[in-house]
Structure 1
Amino acid sequence: MIAETASVHPALRHAASGRMGVFSVAEARSAGYGPDEIRALRSSGRWVRLRQGVYTTAEDLAVTERDGVRHAVECLAVLTSLARPTAVVSHASAARVWGWPVPRREPGTVRLTDPHQWRRTTDYRMACAPVPPEHRAHRGPVPLSSPARTLVDCGREWPLEDAVIAMDAGLLAGRTTSAELRDALALARHWPGAPRAVRAVALADGRAESPLETRGRLRIVGAGLPVFQPQVEIWSDGRLLAVVDGWYDDAAIALEFDGKLKYTDPWGGRTPGQVLWAEKRREDALRSLDVRVVRIADEDVDRGWGALDRRLRGMLGVAGPVDRRFTVVPRAIGRPRAG
């Protein structure tokens, strides 16, 4: 990824190309750069110091910022400075590289795991734990813990809701399976926080297509309400009318988890007005079949839960239509939404 610029020697460009533009001072010196020249390049802003003895070019750094992969570059910088081939990016850092939701309060410290060494500095935190071959992976040039291992490690440290959100995202993306999560749990069964990870794995469901759906499901489970079926297709007259986020069959209640982003920044190239109109038409079609629709927003799961709880309990006490003009088909897996 290193920028194609005449100021960078081909040998240095080659060394950095496999690390998203990251290179060491030793590699720069091998390519013929002397200490004075390196200091001048840094002072001019053309080279940027990432860690002691580790640099990238300003052009490459701009690309990483644009592409939202700055943390991956920070991880590579730490790995380059350590020169430990046994270490892998892990925990929250690996979750970031895999592209899963990370708690907002989670610090940006680079997290690593190495089978032979424990170390902690202001730049990184390295855990000492086994990393068998099946727990090692790569995403691009970054060596990191496998999806299942990453999620279990996060589950041992994060609050339950955050851990389940990440697990749902990993399952939805097809990066891991429930069986792989259970296998990763087996290795970690005696490690700190293992019971927390066990609870998170038990609650994970890869059919959730957004963090709000996961949060809503957990709130409903915690309140002792019946568990709904996620991602259910509603068909009528041979036509697919809707795929609802949640479904209570006996009561014919469709749950729709509505985040603001759905309307303010819609996916699929649609405008907010088009999304709003499509949602209205969809809901009208469902209500015409005597399907009751409950829309759940972030504030309902948080401050407004009491009112939503009472509403759901009341609605669940009323049976759905006896003569159904629709059929329901539960989906076995969720479907990631394209941007």
Structure 2
Amino acid sequence: MPTASEPVDVLVPRAARIGPSAGLRIHHGKFDPGDALDRAGLRVTSPARTCWDLAQWLDVVETVVVLDSMLARRLTDVPTLREYALSRAGRRGWRSLLRAVDLADAGAESPQESRTRVRLVLAGLPRPETQWVVADKGRFVARLDLAWPQFKVAVEYDGLWHDDPEQFHRDRQRLNRLLGCGWIVLHVTAKRLRDDFDGFVAEVRAALRARSCSPR
């Protein structure tokens, strides 16, 4: 979600003569029937049109971050977005939206999880499952951010909550139980996402390769 200091993106018809305005980022475009809705007296773009615009204004990773959130909140769904893109085939932006939709996943529970997943896939790794539940003899063990269950390899995003000693203690108990079930769990932080993502990709790839070549 944008912060109070970030500008608000506004879409206006191409013919509208609106210049730069403080706090606003003005975009001009063509509106199709159904693209604009009335919400409590405020004119807004439909969820599908909003996703279409984001696919043109943002890179694919950040577009998917927003699409994941919208899908999770059930503001739209994959078939609707795919149909919207395909119905506009040939127009600027339709392939960008289709690509983002194909990468989107309603299971993501945070923007950083979405960024991690999409960047791993774009790096050539198999698409992981989101929020994968691990059970042992019918008993719940853990729910994993990203997982390749056929290899028992998982990726967890470590956020700032790990500064909490109690949470850290519970997390390590959970990790021990996962290891006891034969899982390899790799952890990624904001710093690694920012400064050493290639190194992290190599670690995940090595874990998947090791598991795909060895019996479990």
Unaligned stretches of 5+ residues in structure 2: none
C-alpha separation in 2, matches of 1:110 and 1:196: 19
Residue-pair matches, total: 211
What percent of counterpart residues are identical?
A: 24
C-alpha separation in 2, matches of 1:156 and 1:225: 25
1:243 aligns with 2:135: no
1:308 Cα shift? 1.8
* Matched AA of 2:107: R
C-alpha separation in 2, matches of 1:316 and 1:229: 14
* Matched AA of 2:16: W
1:245 Cα shift? 1.0
1:127 Cα shift? 2.8
Cα displacement string for residues 13-70 of structure 1 (whole angstroms, at most 9, x for unaligned residues)? xxxxxxxxxxxxxxxxxxxxxxxxxxxxxxxxxxxxxxxxxxxxxxxxxxxxxxxxxx
* Matched AA of 2:196: G
1:281 aligns with 2:173: yes
Note closer, same or farther for the CA distance 1:280–1:113 as it changes in structure 2 (3 Å cut).
same
1:196 Cα shift? 2.4
Residues 85 and 95 in structure 2, CA contact (< 8 A), matched pair in contact too: no
Secondary structure of residue in 2 paired with 1:313? helix
Out of 128, 141, 147, which is 1:228 matched to? 128
Secondary structure of residue in 1 paired with 2:108? coil
1:142 Cα shift? 2.7
C-alpha separation in 2, matches of 1:189 and 1:119: 28
The equivalent residue for 1:147 is 47
Residues 258 and 296 in structure 1, CA contact (< 8 A), matched pair in contact too: yes
Out of 96, 109, 122, which is 2:20 matched to? 122
Residues 156 and 195 in structure 1, CA contact (< 8 A), matched pair in contact too: no
1:302 aligns with 2:201: no
Note closer, same or farther for the CA distance 1:175–1:306 as it changes in structure 2 (3 Å cut).
same
Summarize the alignment of residues 5-44 of structure 1 with structure 2, pairs less than 5 Å apart. none
1:141 Cα shift? 4.3
Note closer, same or farther for the CA distance 1:284–1:139 as it changes in structure 2 (3 Å cut).
farther
Secondary structure of residue in 2 paired with 1:111? strand
C-alpha separation in 1, matches of 2:60 and 2:194: 16
* Matched AA of 1:286: L
The equivalent residue for 2:109 is 209
Cα displacement string for residues 206-249 of structure 1 (whole angstroms, at most 9, x for unaligned residues)? 22211222221222222222222222100113221111011122
1:301 Cα shift? 2.5
C-alpha separation in 2, matches of 1:247 and 1:126: 39
C-alpha separation in 2, matches of 1:171 and 1:277: 33
Secondary structure of residue in 2 paired with 1:169? helix
Note closer, same or farther for the CA distance 1:311–1:126 as it changes in structure 2 (3 Å cut).
closer
Note closer, same or farther for the CA distance 1:139–1:292 as it changes in structure 2 (3 Å cut).
farther
C-alpha separation in 2, matches of 1:187 and 1:250: 37
Residues 142 and 174 in structure 2, CA contact (< 8 A), matched pair in contact too: yes
* Matched AA of 2:7: G
Deviation larger for 123-132 or 176-185: 123-132
C-alpha separation in 2, matches of 1:109 and 1:305: 30
1:143 Cα shift? 2.6
Out of 153, 161, 171, which is 2:71 matched to? 171
Note closer, same or farther for the CA distance 1:187–1:117 as it changes in structure 2 (3 Å cut).
farther
TM-score under structure 2 length normalisation: 0.83
C-alpha separation in 2, matches of 1:192 and 1:118: 20
The RMSD of aligned alpha carbons is 2.7
Note closer, same or farther for the CA distance 1:243–1:109 as it changes in structure 2 (3 Å cut).
closer
Residues 147 and 153 in structure 2, CA contact (< 8 A), matched pair in contact too: yes
C-alpha separation in 2, matches of 1:220 and 1:184: 27
Unaligned stretches of 5+ residues in structure 1: 1-100, 265-271, 324-339
Secondary structure of residue in 2 paired with 1:302? helix
* Matched AA of 2:189: A
